[in-house]
Amino acid sequence: MTISAPTATAIQDQYVRVRQQSIHLCEPLQAEDFTVQPVDDVSPPKWHLGHSTWFFENFLLVPHLPGYQCYDERLNWFFNSYYESQGPRILRSDRGNMTRPALEQILEYRQYVDRAMEALLDRDVPAITQLTELGLHHEQQHQELLLSDIKYILGSNPLHPSYREDAKTSSPTIPHRYISVEGGRYSIGHEGEDFCWDNELSRHDVLVQDFGIGSRLVTNGEYLDFMKDNGYGRFELWQMEGIAWARNLEVKAPLYWYREGDEWMQYTLDRGLTRIDPSLPVTHVSWYEADAYARWADARLATEFEWEIACAKLQPEVPASGNWVERADYHPTAAASSEDNQLMGHCWEWTNSAYLPYPRYPRPEGALGEYNGKFMINQMVLRGGSCATPRSHIRPTYRNFFQPDKRWQFTGIRLAKDLL
């Protein structure tokens, strides 16, 4: 959460920029794409546009702008995601069944709320600007989900339509090595006055042993070697739940990989269906797959604490030139050199840490306490951001989290090792 409130001018500029980015990401879509929901995890693009707008209306305008009239109170049922405190809502799995409200109405709803938010922000109340900043980071989270959901919608279509055309050339694979990190007592978690989520607090000390961290992400070519060595069929490499999950896979490969004869193909947003590029980071893998691959490679996944310690050593600042959504690659790219550690951007990196509260975790009261705190069970932590993450949204202390079977996000693998 924000500790110090941004200025009124800064938050107004940020509001316009973030809200426009959501619309920009939808520009390549056709009308039919906005309502599709192929699986429960994927929400229709028009739902994301409506839900992020509902957040501002419900948590800012209704309680804080005198005389505000809701655009349509019935939309609360459509666009409430999981807030028990905000009343009944549509089942998540049924979001794609709703052909109404139409896209045109949702866009009108966004404009209606944006005009009201402009009036609210003109009042320059620090508590309002703080809450608005939180709402904008919430929308940026949904922009990443939006892009991932668009990929699933298009990637599961037998025509494999590309989101945008952008021909790329293959790159050489930089040799992998382990970078030594000295063990000891380290401080973990966010510090400072800038924005963070509540799950990044409170800062605390951890003790780690000497370890080695992979110098880059695992590549497609390296993962293919795992597959060729019967990686999906070797039960000794997998957790019990993982091997049962793997046996039920229709295609025993990362999500969006398809076999055509003797060749593996991959669906990407920028090129549609294309040959696997062995130099690119492997992505769209579950925690089960990441853990099994690490064991096959005689290594392991880093804990989230080891990851944060390594990041503080190797990449303490968010790189401006990183592969963020603003670069519009929409797919992980190969390491550019032996100095390119790929720690920030490209792929969310699975860690070997369960998603749990830090000591003295300050769970917020009220509806915002439902945002992170109630999900701290049966999920694993991911770090580092991805090619779908806005640069202004990420930090080295950012904790993402998903169940171990999820892989429709841009998830990847970094290896770690104990050092004796």
Which string of DSSP letters, residue by residue, matches 59-111? IIIHHHSTT---S-TTHHHHH--S-GGG-----GGGGGG---S-HHHHHHHHH
Average pLDDT over residues 76-80: 91
pLDDT digits (tens, 9 = 90+) for 150-173: 999 999 999 999 998 876 777 889
Q: Which of 80, 239, 268, 51 is nearest to 143 (CA)?
A: 51
Nearest one of 32, 35, 30 to 47, comparing CA atoms: 35
Question: Residues 221-248: pLDDT tens digits?
Answer: 999 999 999 999 999 999 999 999 999 9
pLDDT tens column, 203-213: 999 999 999 99
Task: State the DSSP string of 373-416.
Answer: GGG-SS-EEEES--TTS-GGG--TT--EEE-TT--SS-EE--EE
Q: CB neighbours (10 Å) of residue 231?
A: 22
Residue 2 has pLDDT above 60, yes or no: no
Q: Are 180 and 419 in contact (CB under 8 A)?
A: yes
CA distance 113 to 116: 5
H-helix segments, 172-213: none
pLDDT at 50 > cutoff 60:
yes
Give Cα separations from 389 to 298, 318, 326, 345, 356 (angstroms). 31, 12, 8, 7, 23
Lowest model confidence (mean pLDDT) among 23-32, 89-98, 378-387: 89-98
For 70, other C-beta atoms within 10 Å of its C-beta total: 17
* Mean pLDDT within 279-307: 98
Confidence of residue 65 (pLDDT cuts 50, 70, 90): very high
- Give residue 170's pLDDT: 73
Per the CB < 8 A criterion, the answer to whether 185 and 205 are in contact is yes
Q: State the DSSP string of 13-64.
A: HHHHHHHHHHHHHHTT--GGGGT--SSTTPPPHHHHHHHHHHHHIIIIIHHH
Flag the least confident range among 13-27, 32-46, 77-91, 97-111: 77-91
How far apart are alpha carbons 374 and 366 in whole angstroms? 12
pLDDT confidence band for 401 (50 / 70 / 90): very high
Helical (H) or strand (E) element with 417: strand 415-418
- Whether the predicted pLDDT of 362 surpasses 90: no
Does the pLDDT of residue 83 top 90, yes or no?
no
Contact (CB, 8 A) for 280 and 334: yes
Which comes out higher in pLDDT, residue 87 or 57?
A: 57
- State residue 374's pLDDT score: 82
Helix, strand or coil, per DSSP, at residue 133: helix
Residue 370 pLDDT greater than 80, yes or no? no
- Single-letter amino acid, residue 298: D
- Tell whether the model's pLDDT for residue 357 goes beyond 90: yes
- Percent of the chain's residues with pLDDT above 70: 97
Distance CA 141, CA 134 (A): 11
Q: Say if CB 148 and CB 31 are below 8 A apart.
A: no
pLDDT for 81 beyond 90: no
Would you state the pLDDT for residue 286? Answer: 98
pLDDT in the model for residue 84:
75
Mean pLDDT of 83-111: 91
